[in-house]
Amino acid sequence: MPLPVIAIVGRPNVGKSTLFNRLVGRRRALVDDTPGVTRDWKEAEGRLGPLRFRLRDTAGLEDAAPESLAGRMRAQTEAALGEADLALLLIDARAGVTPLDAHFARWLRRIGRKVILVANKCESAAGIANLGEAFALGLDAPVAISAEHGEGMADLHDAIAAALGAPPPEAEVATAEPVRPLQLAIVGRPNAGKSTLINRLVGADRLLTGPEPGITRDSIAVDWRYRGRAIRLLDTAGLRRKAKITAKLEKLAASDAIESIRNAEVVVVLLDALQALERQDLVIAERATEEGRALVVALNKWDLVEAPQKLLARYRDRLAVTLPQVKGVPFVTFSALTGKGVDKLMPAVLAAHERWNRRLPTAALNRWLAGVVSHHPPPLVQGKRLKLRYITQPKSRPPTFALWVNKPLALPDAYRRYLENGLRDEFDLPGVPLRLHLRKGDNPYATRAAGAG
């Protein structure tokens, strides 16, 4: 039986070739920031979990005269799409919906092709903030992904399986090993013991260690298996305050460490328990939170600490005040040098990763919202009560929610924090950065539901 054909379409420079390479599993298409690199469509066998298909990477769609180069490139795209069973319309979530996106969405609806709307570049808050605009394209809810980082692939798998009529292999997906290893970055100030910790985890002197600060200069990836689970450990250079970084090599090392945070799924912020908690430690943790990574705080050299319970309480209180956006972040204490307590780290990492990946049912979210509004209604604005109409979770990694409000700009920050804390407490999401984006208008699904009825 021939494999189904899927074509990736969209305007230039939205990440089509990056997604193509991701689904094919190796670099087959040239990727560059310059628009229009792809001109002829390419085809290769792609795979996403158990799904197999023929995948086509097409040129960027542009509204141009037929005789021009852009027009001939569009003709190539139309030819590729003409034989396809399904189209993935890719948009750049960071740029928001453009008139060209809307033009080609109308064109795809007009020709009657099955279409999945895919919002790329959703790896951080900058990408997810414009996601609500995609509903205006008149297609189903967008599938939020990051083709570069491999995020959202499980959601894309489910959407493709539903569109092609493939039976969802729920049990197989739930028990199969992830396609890619869990990306775990160890970050912290110089000489906190990052390389020593990784050596202890893998059970070998894989990385150079010593008393001199700054031995590690660039990020080193170490592949490892923990109880059958593939893990990629990222050892990073120590991060000092930006004002203290003057040498070019250290600047490059710091940049590489920050890139490792962006590429990670879970970030372990390693602290030297014998040193006072400094502003730089909080800056590192805040950077991981801003990038939307799951967070675990680890206190090294704990065997040498006097009054450990008092010190731990002081650390918890300081982070609760300075980083309320990751309320309940887990703390793990150990000695990387002796190994005492290190076995507590990976269970905490895997638990944080599970929360970071969690998807919540829309029905449960809206039951929660109704209870919250009933118990603690939103404030009055100019004598009228703000209306919270609908909530859904467009993506995970980290858990991201869209809330429809009649007047989003009028919702006070204090009430917004109340909602975020309520989500965290109700659905057991401690220590994970949450994204709550306010959208103006009615329930976006109400019209569709009424039409279907």
* Sheet strands side by side (includes 229-235): 220-226, 229-235, 182-188, 266-272, 294-300, 331-333
Judge whether 300 and 273 are in contact, CB under 8 Å.
Answer: yes
Write down the pLDDT at residue 297. Answer: 93
Considering the domain architecture, whether residues 170 and 194 belong to the same structural domain is answered as no
> Which DSSP string do the residues of 366-378 spell out, in sequence order?
HHHHHHHHHHSPP
Write down the pLDDT at residue 390. Answer: 92
Q: What is the pLDDT of residues 253-264, one digit of tens each?
A: 455 567 778 888
In the listed set 357, 389, 411, which residue is the last one of a domain according to the structure?
357
Share of the chain above pLDDT 70, in %: 75
Considering the domain architecture, whether residues 202 and 122 belong to the same structural domain is answered as no
Write down the pLDDT at residue 354. Answer: 95
In the listed set 357, 387, 407, which residue is the last one of a domain according to the structure?
357
Considering the domain architecture, whether residues 169 and 256 belong to the same structural domain is answered as no
Considering the domain architecture, whether residues 323 and 375 belong to the same structural domain is answered as no
Considering the domain architecture, whether residues 120 and 220 belong to the same structural domain is answered as no
CA 39 from centre of chain: 30
Q: Which of 72, 53, 71, 76 is nearest to 159 (CA)?
A: 53
Considering the domain architecture, whether residues 265 and 409 belong to the same structural domain is answered as no
**What residues contact residue 174 under an 8 Å CB cut-off, 6+ apart?**
none
- Count of domains observed in the chain: 3
**What residues contact residue 54 under an 8 Å CB cut-off, 6+ apart?**
3, 4, 5, 6, 43, 44, 45, 46
Write down the pLDDT at residue 355. Answer: 94
The rounded distance, in Å, linking the Cα atoms of 358 and 353 is: 9
The rounded distance, in Å, linking the Cα atoms of 57 and 38 is: 8
**Block residue for tokens 């918890």:** 316
Write down the pLDDT at residue 400. Answer: 92
Question: Up-side HSE of residue 359: CA atoms within 13 Å toward CB?
Answer: 9
pTM greater than the 0.85 cutoff? no
Write down the pLDDT at residue 208. Answer: 42
**Block residue for tokens 């919202």:** 369
In the listed set 153, 175, 197, which residue is the last one of a domain according to the structure?
175
Q: What is the pLDDT of residues 41-74, one digit of tens each?
A: 567 788 888 899 988 887 655 555 555 545 555 5
The rounded distance, in Å, linking the Cα atoms of 77 and 40 is: 8
Write down the pLDDT at residue 423. Answer: 93
Residues of the chain with pLDDT under 70: 1, 26-42, 59-77, 79-80, 124-129, 166-179, 204-221, 236-257, 441-453
Write down the pLDDT at residue 69. Answer: 43
Q: What is the DSSP pairing of strand 220-226 with strand 229-235?
A: antiparallel
φ/ψ region of 292 (left if φ > 0, alpha if ψ in -120 to 50, else beta) reads: left
**Block residue for tokens 């499980």:** 154
Considering the domain architecture, whether residues 352 and 367 belong to the same structural domain is answered as no
Considering the domain architecture, whether residues 227 and 273 belong to the same structural domain is answered as yes
**What residues contact residue 108 under an 8 Å CB cut-off, 6+ apart?**
9, 87, 89, 115
> Which DSSP string do the residues of 207-266 spell out, in sequence order?
S---SSTT---S-EEEEEEETTEEEEEEE------GGG--SHHHHHHHHHHHHHHHH-SE
Three-state DSSP state, 151 = strand
CA-to-CA dists, residue 365 to 122, 392, 427, angstroms: 22, 7, 9
Q: Which domain holds residue 385?
A: 362-452
Write down the pLDDT at residue 72. Answer: 52
The rounded distance, in Å, linking the Cα atoms of 263 and 183 is: 7
Considering the domain architecture, whether residues 11 and 154 belong to the same structural domain is answered as yes
Considering the domain architecture, whether residues 28 and 68 belong to the same structural domain is answered as yes
Considering the domain architecture, whether residues 202 and 298 belong to the same structural domain is answered as yes
Write down the pLDDT at residue 79. Answer: 64
Taken as a whole, the chain contains a residue count of 453
Tokens of 273: 């328990």
The rounded distance, in Å, linking the Cα atoms of 34 and 245 is: 32
CATH code where residue 382 lies: 3.30.300.20
Q: Which of 337, 343, 348, 332 is nearest to 297 (CA)?
A: 332
Write down the pLDDT at residue 452. Answer: 47
Considering the domain architecture, whether residues 351 and 366 belong to the same structural domain is answered as no
CATH code where residue 125 lies: 3.40.50.300
